[in-house]
Amino acid sequence: MQHDKVLIVDFGSQYTQLIARRVRELNIYSEIHPFNKIPTNVDDYKAVILSGSPMSVRSENAFHPDLTAIRGKKPLLGVCYGAQYLAHFSGGEVAESNTREYGRANLNFIQENEPFLEGVSEGSQVWMSHSDTIKSLPTNGKLLASTHDVKNAAYKIEGESTYAIQFHPEVYHSKDGKQILENFLVRIASVNPDWTPNAFVSETVDELKSKLGNDKVVLGLSGGVDSSVAAMLLHKAIGENLYCIFVNNGLLRKNEFTSVLEQYEGMGLNVKGVDASARFLDALAGLSDPEEKRKAIGRVFIEVFDDEAHQIQDVTWLAQGTIYPDVIESVSATGGPSATIKSHHNVGGLPDFMKLKIVEPLKALFKDEVRRVGASMEMDKQLLGRHPFPGPGLAIRILGDITAEKVRILQEVDAVFIDGLRSWNLYDKVWQAGAILLPVNSVGVMGDERTYEKVVALRAVESTDGMTADWVDLPYKFLQKVSNDIINKVKGVNRVVYDISSKPPATIEWE
């Protein structure tokens, strides 16, 4: 790594990943590490940021790591809990707040000529979320800014590059948050902002070249953004030694297998399309339970992939499109494991291809960064902007058992909906969209005939990471048109409904 790095110490705040993303938006590479596993090589980092936390500094089991190796030795910024802990650790006092401050607040006293707050205007809106307050500043502390309810909203420790803010600079509602982060990192800590998508591509390609040499690598393409960008990076590094496999499980969108395969071939990838639809449909026959379906699909995918990987002679590596949120070690505020709502990850035995060495070129990137890296390699905009699509595909959007006829109906319905979103310029405003085939028939009338046919639900959500989501307020005119088109064009459907549930308490998929 030839770039300056920033260490983000995570105390379990829901916003920690946002801090990392904001820092990276400044073209500065940042890494998240849990408070109880702070790397021993702090000298490798140019600056350190302490995150917020759901904890109280005053509680018995609060997170109190030793900061001796960091404070006063490295430029250090404490955010929310980070600011409180810094005060607590350095001779200040934290107490329960009389007025809890959640949400909007304004900075109403700002220290002049202070590089940390350069460009931040009087009254600047900041976002608060805390119930404790810093009652007295640490030894050598100097007040830098206040809000109406919080006197010590920003402070520094004199003689050191140590700063602290009670508010969250990482959320968009903090108007000058990014400016403050930039002041701290670039002006105060002298971090070089040179971590750009182009630099990432050229360095990653060089690293992959020296790591892989003349070795062969196999990679499963899914049609999604991550696997496609990972393939492109590897293709640039090792060309024909990258063997891509794109499996048709028969549960993709209409025409997707052929169109995506053509697109991959157009990108110059060495890709083999494997049509295993029949094998998947056989395995799904008679299954209606969502988890059973997922398991069957996972099992068959592994079998098919294993068969294909065996046909590549002397392959030694398996490439995966793993991204940063999959590998960040998270701090659990409760200490307990979270309940499994859906088994998103395929389960099964350990087939031969899984014994290969693993290469994960996107392991350091967030999803939006993967897209930017793809764009800097001039990959197709439509491919990079594609909505997420679940691995088990339409199988979990056909409630109940799956037949070839039901798949056909849903593919048609889905195509009308998605094409409609595109032609009404709504596709890019929606995070994910699709249709669900319900296991009920309803009575209708077409011409003079009574019909008794399927009901479909349409779902369109906005989200940033799929963890929470809200339904999209699509124009009535659009819904009216799509509903008419579906009922007129798709044989077997006589009713369309629109899903207006948020997640939580619902989930994005119905199964």
Nearest to 9 by CA among 59, 56, 66, 57: 66
Rg (CA), the chain: 26
Q: Which of 101, 130, 170, 509 is catalytic?
A: 170
Ligand-binding annotation for 326, yes or no, is: no
What is the 8-class DSSP label of residue 149?
Answer: S
What is the Cα–Cα distance from 101 to 132, expressed in whole angstroms?
Answer: 9
Nearer to ligand XMP, 195 or 431 (CB): 431
What is the Cα–Cα distance from 214 to 241, expressed in whole angstroms?
Answer: 7
Output the smallest distance, CB 429 to ligand XMP, in A.
16
- Our answer to whether residue 173 is catalytic in this structure is no
Output the smallest distance, CB 384 to ligand XMP, in A.
17
What is the Cα–Cα distance from 464 to 263, expressed in whole angstroms?
Answer: 27
Output the smallest distance, CB 511 to ligand XMP, in A.
8
Ligand-binding annotation for 226, yes or no, is: yes
Output the smallest distance, CB 460 to ligand XMP, in A.
12
What is the Cα–Cα distance from 116 to 11, expressed in whole angstroms?
Answer: 23
Nearer to ligand XMP, 73 or 503 (CB): 503
- Our answer to whether residue 345 is catalytic in this structure is no
Nearer to ligand XMP, 80 or 508 (CB): 508
Output the smallest distance, CB 110 to ligand XMP, in A.
42
- Our answer to whether residue 168 is catalytic in this structure is yes
Output the smallest distance, CB 419 to ligand XMP, in A.
20
- Phi, psi at residue 327, to the nearest 5°? -115, -10
Which residues have a Cβ under 8 Å from the Cβ of 340 and sit 6 or more positions away?
Answer: none
Ligand-binding annotation for 223, yes or no, is: yes
Do the Cβ atoms of 149 and 99 come closer than 8 Å?
A: yes
Q: Which of 3, 80, 130, 244 is catalytic?
A: 80
Burial class (CB in 10 A: 0-12, 13-18, 19+), 150: buried
Nearer to ligand XMP, 131 or 507 (CB): 507
Ligand-binding annotation for 228, yes or no, is: yes
What is the number of helices (H) and of strands (E) in the chain?
A: 13, 19
Collapsed DSSP state (helix, strand, coil) of residue 485: helix
Q: Which of 168, 235, 308, 509 is catalytic?
A: 168
Nearer to ligand XMP, 225 or 396 (CB): 396
Judged by the rule CB under 6 A, the positions of this chain that interact with ligand XMP are 294, 342, 344, 388, 390-392, 396, 432, 466, 503, 507-509
Burial class (CB in 10 A: 0-12, 13-18, 19+), 2: exposed
Q: What angle do CA 145, 150, 151 make, to 5 degrees?
A: 50
Ligand-binding annotation for 23, yes or no, is: no
Do the Cβ atoms of 106 and 123 come closer than 8 Å?
A: yes
Residue count of the chain, please give it: 511
Nearer to ligand XMP, 223 or 392 (CB): 392
- Write out the catalytic residue numbers: 80, 168, 170
Known binding-site residues equal 222-228
Known binding-site residues for ATP equal 222-228
